[in-house]
Amino acid sequence: MTLKSLSENDKPIGVIGAGNFGSVIANLLARQRNVLLYARNETVVENILSKRENRGYKMHERITPTNNLSAIAEQCDIIFPIVPSAHFRSMMKELSPYLHPYHLLIHGTKGFDLMLPDGQTIDTMAKLNRSMVKTMSEVIAEESVVARVGCLAGPNLARELAEGHPAATVIASHFNEVINVGKRLLRNDHFQVYGNNDLVGVELAGVLKNVIAIAAGALSGMGYGENAKGLLISRGMVEMVYLGRALGGNTKAFLGIAGIGDLATTCNSSLSRNFNVGFRLAQGETLENILASTDEIAEGINTVQIAKKCADYYKVRAPITSTLYHVLFEEMTVKRAIEHLMRYPLNVDIDFLAE
């Protein structure tokens, strides 16, 4: 056993993506193991090397930054890809030639991948189905030979994790082995790690909650109080369940850390990027304006667009998502949107659980 754990400690853990969340996860992992952190940008690598700092976080001394992607695959057996969904597939294509079936990948990206027929863009497609919309674990499976895939989801606001506030995450995978590895590597006195076998369900929960987070920001920006938020969270939850089921997840995942846990957190936090987008919209800023002033991608905007078009394809009732779509892309004001939603004829409280 000692021999085995020795050999396990030899190899560093890989993290791909030095954004907010990537940096924090790298720091968490570095408490137990050496970490190789990939950053696309060379100045980020230099900054970490010279100042031990990135995006305002102090970087652990056991973290070695690199901008050589193949080095990650060659030196690490366990890799955490945490890059925005828009770049995820191209990153996987680049990484894939160096990956082997012995690699374990646990991603931390809460967004959808979009593969459209030639010549089409998301704006030209009226509806989207599941063959065009993929979760990150599906992208990994399509682009590489790695079978043992997992995802990291839950209420993990990077700033709070960095400060060591108590928090929890869920690792979802079809493989118990992956869940156990994730637990072993991430767990500490402030950080609890749960397991779930419904990989796609957990991924969907993490992705879809971003839609509701924008809506929560909008409510807050309008100056509305806690009643409104309670209403939004509970109805938002129902909407997530319906959409999630249409896209291949089970109800259960939405009731866990990655669903209700993450939803309650993001809807209450001004630290969340998605929340901020909604807040500023309600204050009267335009989407272009907001996008121009932030350097990190709010996954939720893209997700609203995709989720709305999927709901249309699968004929799922998703009033919050589609109203938000009108706000973001069709110049409906937040005020009108809320009026519209409040008049929406919904009558049953909970109808997604079997009696």
Partner 1 sequence: MEVVEKKNKNKQYKPILDGIPDWPVYQLSKNRKEFIEEVAQKTFAHIKKNRPSPKQIIDEIQATVYREQQRMKRNRWRVDPADEPKFWSTIKNEVVALSTKSPEESEAKADEILYRIVFRYANEIAGNFKATSYRLTREIIKFWFARLLNGARVKKFGAFFRNRYSLRDKIHIVGKVGQLRKLAKEGTIVMVPTHFSNLDSILIGWIIHSLGLPAFIYGAGLNLFNIKIFAYFMNSLGAYKVDRRKKNAPYLETLKFYSMLAVQKGAHSIFFPGGTRSRSGRLEKQLKLGLLSSTIEAQRNLYMETPVGEPVRKIFIVPVTLNYHFVLEAPDLIDDYLSSKGQDRYLPEQDKYGSWQLLQFLFKFFTKGSNISVSIGPGLDIIGNHVNDAGNSLDAHGRIIDTRDYFISNGTVTADKQREDEYTRMLSQKIVSEYHRINRVFASHLVAFVAFELWQKKHPNLDLFGLLRLPEEDQEIKYEEFRAACKRVRKEIYRLKAENKIYHATHLKGKIDLVIRHGLDNVGIFHLKRPLLIDKDGNIITKDFSTLYYYHNRLVGYDLEKFV
- Which of 110, 209, 308, 309 does the annotation list as catalytic? 209
Give residues with Cβ within 8 angstroms of 35, minimum separation 6: 12, 13, 14, 15, 26, 29, 60, 62, 63, 64
Is 147 one of the binding residues for partner 1 (CB under 8 A)?
A: yes
Largest CA distance in the chain: 66
Is 313 one of the binding residues for partner 1 (CB under 8 A)?
A: no
- Going by the DSSP 8-state scheme, the letter that residue 188 receives in this structure is B
CA–CA gap between residue 295 and residue 189 (Å, rounded): 32
Site for partner 1 in 43-82 (CB under 8 A): 77
Residue 175's Cβ-side half-sphere holds a number of Cα atoms within 13 Å equal to 15
Is 7 one of the binding residues for partner 1 (CB under 8 A)?
A: yes
Specify the stretch interacting with partner 1 by CB under 8 A; choose among 96-104, 124-132, 289-297, 305-313: 96-104
Is 94 one of the binding residues for partner 1 (CB under 8 A)?
A: no
Specify the stretch interacting with partner 1 by CB under 8 A; choose among 40-48, 82-90, 141-149, 336-344: 141-149
CA–CA gap between residue 222 and residue 208 (Å, rounded): 22
Nearest to 141 by CA among 196, 198, 96, 109: 96
Candidates 96, 129, 250, 283; binder of partner 1 (CB under 8 A) is 96
Known catalytic membership, residue 335: no
CA–CA gap between residue 63 and residue 28 (Å, rounded): 10
Is 177 one of the binding residues for partner 1 (CB under 8 A)?
A: yes
For the CB of residue 275, give the shortest distance to partner 1 in the complex, in Å: 37
Is 115 one of the binding residues for partner 1 (CB under 8 A)?
A: no
Contact 108, 151 (CB under 8 A): yes
Q: Considering the complex, state which of residue 102 and residue 344 has its C-beta at the smaller distance from partner 1.
A: 102
Is 291 one of the binding residues for partner 1 (CB under 8 A)?
A: no
Return residues touching partner 1 (CB under 8 A): 4, 7-8, 77, 96-97, 100-102, 142-145, 147-148, 174-177
Give the residue numbers marked as catalytic: 209
